[in-house]
């Protein structure tokens, strides 16, 4: 097609077809470059590249399969967008940690933008001064020594969680979701969650679900030409993604604004709460500073609640599937702590098997299998391969966590893999599950602490058993999990059974019950 013939097309087709021609021309010119991209599946189309190769589900498994054929560093192209996938821990460290100066940006995600998250969420925000403002807040309030100050509050919320399991064990999933939200909401906004059906916890759950289910839209045109198709009206045929985005946007901004407005109201009434947002609000001098605070707080609120809840769900699932692991963990607790008092953070060093179990929960089912993609800000060479400026760089954390060379039988839940030949914990803290480089999760110390104490105290006081029907038959348990940006186990049932009368007494004492 000549450029002149474009003018004879109906106006609704001219711009997209013209854009495709430009993309094809740019691609053809790029092929004259003497440097080579990393290997990957052969392109099916000169224009769309590897579009037909993109996996519909569980992309991390597809990338592992490609890696077995092409190597640990992969490349594919969709239209004019290049993606590099890193399947090995070493390559992630080399590029995202050691070369973080050029690999700390984020790719533009049109659906995230349409859903409103890109305007305030630290995790998706492109590298720059606004992101650095967010990061300063997290560094100030969540660095390791400061995170220790939150342990009394974490302990209280975990005791409330145990109380919920004691009174309504059948609602165990609601209880761990409430715990995940309770910790971060208390720190950020001094919000004391309701035992059940808390509105702010519901907001976080709803918003996170909308994000994880729609972050990768079923709209190829939106991905390929976001500057054009993102402006389609919601009623336009094929623009269903726009309707989903508008619904999610409303919830996202409610999640950002409602809890912060409550803190502002208390401060105006002279009742300033003890929390991160109140502390920072006292020094805010401009709308820009206020917006940074609002975004950073909402990021911590949403991300902390969603990922912590998922890890706790994986824990309950693993204990049903691997009862021998649960039995061994209880043996350590009974021998070291007993049942006269609840486990505290001070016991962590004396419970190495519980520490190993927590590491295995995070390794076995990495809740962000592909982390959050990075983007290169300049051309780069690595191992002789050309990585262009603007390329999306994907950390296949699932591949790292399931590398059979490092973790034999990687799909088996086995905490003993974290002990050396002398029976001591090794130095593998599975820190890669929190990301790499300058974009590593700033709340990782807080999240790890909550997960550890929740798991330890549940195992101390309860037996997690398969649920039985009226005929005594156990409900089947699957190892399967959802697909998406953040994964969760498929819904399952279990019985949470109190281990002893002593367990009941120490829980009631902790929560102030009779």
Which residue ranges are tagged as binding site for heme? Answer: 441
Annotated binding site: 441
Enumerate the H helices of 322-419 as residue ranges: 323-336, 352-364, 397-401
**Residues 76 and 53 sit within 8 Å (Cβ to Cβ):** yes
The distance of Cα 21 from the centroid of its chain, to the nearest Å, equals 38
Q: Give the integer Cα–Cα distance in Å for 277 and 296.
A: 9
Alpha-carbon separation of residue 200 from 204, 257, 261, 324 (angstroms): 6, 11, 13, 37
The number of CA neighbours under 13 Å toward the Cβ of 220 is 13
User: 489 - beta bridge partners?
Assistant: 481
Which of 266, 213, 224, 178 is closest to 47 using CA atoms?
A: 224
Alpha-carbon separation of residue 142 from 24, 97, 175, 297 (angstroms): 47, 20, 25, 12
Question: ∠ CA(142), CA(159), CA(192), 5° rounding?
Answer: 60
- DSSP letter (8 states) at residue 42: P
Reading phi first (left if > 0) and then psi (alpha if -120 to 50, else beta), residue 484 is in left
The number of CA neighbours under 13 Å toward the Cβ of 498 is 18
**Residues 220 and 229 sit within 8 Å (Cβ to Cβ):** no
**Residues 322 and 417 sit within 8 Å (Cβ to Cβ):** no
Torsion sign, CA atoms 453, 459, 461, 465: positive
Q: Name the token pair of 175.
A: 């209880």
**Residues 464 and 173 sit within 8 Å (Cβ to Cβ):** no
Tally Cβ neighbours within 10 Å of residue 65.
Answer: 12
Helix (H, G, I), strand (E, B) or coil at 387: strand
């Amino acid at each position: 097609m000549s450029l002149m013939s474009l003018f004879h097309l109906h106006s609704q087709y001219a711009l997209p077809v013209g854009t495709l021609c430009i993309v094809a021309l740019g691609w053809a010119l790029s092929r004259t470059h003497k440097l080579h991209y990393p290997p990957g599946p052969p392109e099916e189309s000169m224009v769309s590249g590897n579009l037909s190769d993109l996996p519909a589900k569980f992309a991390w498994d597809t990338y592992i399969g490609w890696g077995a054929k092409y190597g640990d560093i992969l490349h594919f192209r969709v239209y004019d967008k290049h993606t590099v996938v890193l399947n090995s821990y070493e390559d992630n460290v080399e590029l995202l940690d050691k070369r973080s100066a050029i690999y700390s940006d984020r790719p533009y995600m049109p659906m995230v933008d349409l859903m409103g998250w890109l305007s305030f969420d630290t995790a998706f925000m492109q590298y720059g001064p606004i992101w650095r403002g967010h990061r300063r807040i997290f560094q100030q309030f969540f660095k390791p020594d400061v995170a220790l100050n939150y342990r009394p509050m974490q302990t209280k919320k975990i005791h409330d969680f145990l109380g919920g399991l004691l009174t309504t064990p059948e609602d165990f999933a609601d209880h761990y979701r409430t715990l995940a939200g309770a910790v971060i909401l208390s720190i950020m906004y001094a919000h004391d969650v309701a035992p059940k059906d808390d509105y702010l916890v519901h907001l976080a759950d709803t918003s996170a679900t909308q994000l994880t289910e729609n972050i990768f839209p079923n709209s190829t045109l939106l991905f390929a030409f976001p500057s054009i198709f993102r402006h389609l009206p919601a009623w336009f045929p094929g623009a269903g993604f726009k309707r989903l985005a508008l619904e999610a946007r409303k919830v996202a901004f409610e999640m950002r604004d409602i809890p912060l407005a409550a803190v502002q109201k208390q401060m105006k009434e002279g009742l300033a709460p003890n929390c991160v947002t109140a502390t920072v609000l006292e020094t805010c001098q401009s709308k820009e500073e206020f917006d940074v605070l609002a975004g950073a707080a909402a990021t911590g609120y949403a991300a902390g609640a969603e990922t912590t809840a998922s890890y706790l769900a994986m824990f309950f699932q693993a204990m049903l599937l691997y009862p021998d692991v649960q039995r061994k963990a209880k043996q350590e607790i009974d021998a070291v702590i007993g049942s006269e008092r609840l486990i505290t953070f001070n016991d962590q060093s004396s419970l190495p098997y519980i520490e190993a179990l927590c590491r295995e929960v995070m390794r076995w089912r990495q809740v962000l299998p592909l982390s959050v993609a990075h983007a290169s800000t300049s051309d780069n060479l690595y191992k002789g391969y050309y990585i262009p400026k603007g390329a999306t760089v994907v950390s296949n954390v699932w591949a790292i966590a399931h590398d059979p060379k490092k973790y034999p039988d990687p799909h088996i839940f086995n905490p003993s893999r974290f002990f050396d030949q002398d029976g001591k914990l090794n130095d593998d803290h599975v820190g890669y599950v929190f990301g790499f480089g300058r974009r590593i999760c700033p709340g990782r110390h807080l999240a790890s602490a909550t997960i550890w104490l929740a798991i330890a105290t549940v195992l101390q006081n309860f037996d997690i058993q398969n649920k039985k029907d009226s005929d005594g038959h156990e409900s089947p348990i699957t190892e399967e999990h959802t697909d998406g940006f953040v994964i969760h186990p498929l819904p399952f049932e279990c019985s949470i059974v109190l281990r002893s009368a002593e367990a009941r007494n120490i829980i009631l004492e902790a929560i102030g019950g009779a």
